[in-house]
């Protein structure tokens, strides 16, 4: 089937894809299962933290006013009338010039308003009673963590759509969440096309290659927070492929195919979209690699037709599939984070399309430098290894020189959490 293809810019393509995305469904999971899932509810403090005034140190809970005349020369002596560890509560009130021995984290006895550390007092016994000698003024609230000092009840803490990190787990546990509402992982089916493809455990035979894309994509899907579903591979056979795709659409939320989306003799995806009655948003993007990347929708369901070339397929996923999945999970930062970097290589060839170069980024004297990770071809697999960013080179007539400042897209979320802490 002959289709006239108009290349659109990456930005336009992203906009089309992102224009209408249905949020995914939610589910409750136990806190133990919640790591790296995406919150589907805002986290609001249901209590003060701390919930009571707590001692910050092992020491003595005292009344600040009792120490107002204490000096090195004239220490004040306080009678020790009790002893509490963390978790214990001192129920008797205290009188002026009395103290309670207290351990870190224990609730301050009523009437006490400061703590003096064990190592800052002299302990003494007189007539079978214990005393401490305090030789300086201890101001009110000293070494006390006040009720609500860290978090006040009712405070909005984390917005829904945020990935659950260990810190958020701690917060949820503090607030007594044994279960938490998260976005259900969208099921993303991966179907490789191409009569040249072998399974990864098959020996190589002439003319064939192993299906690496499916496994790469499943790893990307998992990393981004969705559930990959391996759907095998298809021979380049229009009718059979159509049947499989039509059936598999019943079992997945999103379908990714690789290969067969170009204009070659055996590229049947365009015809399949047509037969399905899917709406094709675009089938050509002014980018390299991945210019044939196609996105279509059947009802609410996305069909991503990624190139068969590994680097193109990888990039197509990061630019288009990733933000859709993250948006379904309510995440407010669905795109790869971008920043500026200095080119460590030159790209002298003019190019009418934007180029996405797999690079490694390094900090040299607090400037970020982007070095190519290898072969800049859409078929390259090795350049994906060690790549932690994509350099974006807009269309150019003159090329780019080493030392120029360019935009890069970071491939990892690590260290720059997509937090939405309110
Ligand atoms: P296509 O987009 O079908 O024309 O494929 C483009 C190139 O990618 C061809 O050289 C294919 O052999 C290769 N290719 C296609 N599918 C895969 C795959 N699943 N894994 C690795 N390479 C592939
Ligand atoms: Mg093919």
pLDDT 10s digits, 150-203: 999 999 999 999 999 999 999 999 999 999 999 999 999 999 999 999 999 999
DSSP one-letter code for 335:
S
Our answer on whether the CB atom of 259 is closer than 6 Å to any ligand 1 atom is yes
- Average pLDDT rounded to a whole number, residues 106-121: 97
Our answer on whether the CB atom of 310 is closer than 6 Å to any ligand 1 atom is yes
| Ligand 2 geometric centre to CA of 194 (Å) | 4
**Top CATH class, 27-48+150-183:** alpha beta
pLDDT confidence of residue 365: 86
Our answer on whether the CB atom of 378 is closer than 6 Å to any ligand 1 atom is no
- Domain covering 54-145 assigned CATH 2.170.190.11 in the classification: yes
Q: What is the pTM of this model?
A: 0.92
Our answer on whether the CB atom of 211 is closer than 6 Å to any ligand 1 atom is yes
Atom of ligand 1 nearest to the CA of 236: 3
Long-range contacts of 371-375 (CB under 8 A, 24+ apart): 371/344, 371/345, 372/344, 372/345
What is the C-alpha separation between 336 and 253, in angstroms, rounded? 22
Classify 232 as helix, strand or coil. strand
| Ligand 1 geometric centre to CA of 220 (Å) | 18
Our answer on whether the CB atom of 313 is closer than 6 Å to any ligand 1 atom is no
CA angle 3, 12, 395 (to 5 degrees): 85
Percent of the chain having pLDDT more than 70? 97
**Domain 10-25+185-328 CATH superfamily:** MoaB/Mog-like domain (3.40.980.10)
Our answer on whether the CB atom of 311 is closer than 6 Å to any ligand 1 atom is no
**What pLDDT, in 10s, does the model give residues 17-31?**
999 999 999 999 999
Q: In sequence order, what are the residues at sequence separation of 6 or more whose Cβ sits closer than 8 angstroms to the Cβ of residue 82?
A: 90, 92, 94, 100, 101, 109
Whether the predicted pLDDT of 85 surpasses 90: yes
| Axis-axis angle for helices 269-276, 238-248 (nearest 10) | 50
| Ligand 1 geometric centre to CA of 279 (Å) | 24
- Average pLDDT rounded to a whole number, residues 340-360: 97
Whether the predicted pLDDT of 38 surpasses 80: yes
| Ligand 1 geometric centre to CA of 380 (Å) | 11
DSSP code per residue over 158-201: E-TT-B--HHHHHHHHHTT-SEEEEEPPPEEEEEEE-TTEE-TT
Whether the predicted pLDDT of 415 surpasses 90: no
Q: Which CATH number fits domain 338-410: 3.20.20.100, 3.20.20.70, 3.40.50.2300, 2.40.340.10?
A: 2.40.340.10
Our answer on whether the CB atom of 194 is closer than 6 Å to any ligand 1 atom is yes
Q: Where are the alpha helices (DSSP H) in 10-131?
A: 10-18
Our answer on whether the CB atom of 197 is closer than 6 Å to any ligand 1 atom is yes
| Ligand 2 geometric centre to CA of 243 (Å) | 18
Confidence of residue 5 (pLDDT cuts 50, 70, 90): confident
Task: Tell me the HSE value of 284 on the side-chain side, using a 13 A CA sphere.
Answer: 9
Confidence of residue 418 (pLDDT cuts 50, 70, 90): very low
Our answer on whether the CB atom of 192 is closer than 6 Å to any ligand 1 atom is yes
| Ligand 2 geometric centre to CA of 384 (Å) | 21
Taking the CA of 292 as reference, the closest ligand is 1
| Ligand 1 geometric centre to CA of 46 (Å) | 53
- Domain locations in the chain as residue ranges: 10-25+185-328, 27-48+150-183, 54-145, 338-410
């Amino acid at each position: 089937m002959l289709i006239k293809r108009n290349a659109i810019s990456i930005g336009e393509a992203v906009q089309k894809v992102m224009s209408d995305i249905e949020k995914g469904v939610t589910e409750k999971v136990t806190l133990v299962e919640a790591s790296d899932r995406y919150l589907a509810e805002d986290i609001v403090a249901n209590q003060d933290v701390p919930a009571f005034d707590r001692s910050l140190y092992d020491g003595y809970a005292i009344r600040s006013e009792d120490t107002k005349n204490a000096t090195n020369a004239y220490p004040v002596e306080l009678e020790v009338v009790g002893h509490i560890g963390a978790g214990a509560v001192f129920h008797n009130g205290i009188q002026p010039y009395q103290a309670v021995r207290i351990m870190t984290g224990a609730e301050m006895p009523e009437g006490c308003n400061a703590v003096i550390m064990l190592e800052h007092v002299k302990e003494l016994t007189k007539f079978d009673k214990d005393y401490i000698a305090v030789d300086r003024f201890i101001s009110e609230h000293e070494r006390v963590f006040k009720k609500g000092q860290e978090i006040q009840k009712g405070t909005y803490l984390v917005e829904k759509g945020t990935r659950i990190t260990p810190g958020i787990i701690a917060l949820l546990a503090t607030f007594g969440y044994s279960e938490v509402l998260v976005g259900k992982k969208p099921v993303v089916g991966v179907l490789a096309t191409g009569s040249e493809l072998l399974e990864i455990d098959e020996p190589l035979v002439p003319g064939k290659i192993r299906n690496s894309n499916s496994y790469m994509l499943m790893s990307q899907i998992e990393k981004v927070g969705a559930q990959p579903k391996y759907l095998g591979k298809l021979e380049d056979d229009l009718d059979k492929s159509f049947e499989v795709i039509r059936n598999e659409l019943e079992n997945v939320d999103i379908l990714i195919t690789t290969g067969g989306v170009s204009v070659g003799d055996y590229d049947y995806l365009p015809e399949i979209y047509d037969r399905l009655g899917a709406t094709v948003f675009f089938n050509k993007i002014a980018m390299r690699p991945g210019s044939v990347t196609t996105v279509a929708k059947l009802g609410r369901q996305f069909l991503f037709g990624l190139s068969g070339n590994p680097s193109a397929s990888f990039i197509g996923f990061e630019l288009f599939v990733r933000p859709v999945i993250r948006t379904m999970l309510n995440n407010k930062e669905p795109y790869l984070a971008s920043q500026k970097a200095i080119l460590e290589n030159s790209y002298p060839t003019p190019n009418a399309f934007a180029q996405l170069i797999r690079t490694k980024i390094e900090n040299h004297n607090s400037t970020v430098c982007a070095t190519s990770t290898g072969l800049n071809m859409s078929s390259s697999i090795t350049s994906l290894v060690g790549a932690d960013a994509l350099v974006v080179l807009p269309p150019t007539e003159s090329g780019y020189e080493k030392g120029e400042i360019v935009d890069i897209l970071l491939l990892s979320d690590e260290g720059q959490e997509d937090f939405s802490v309110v």
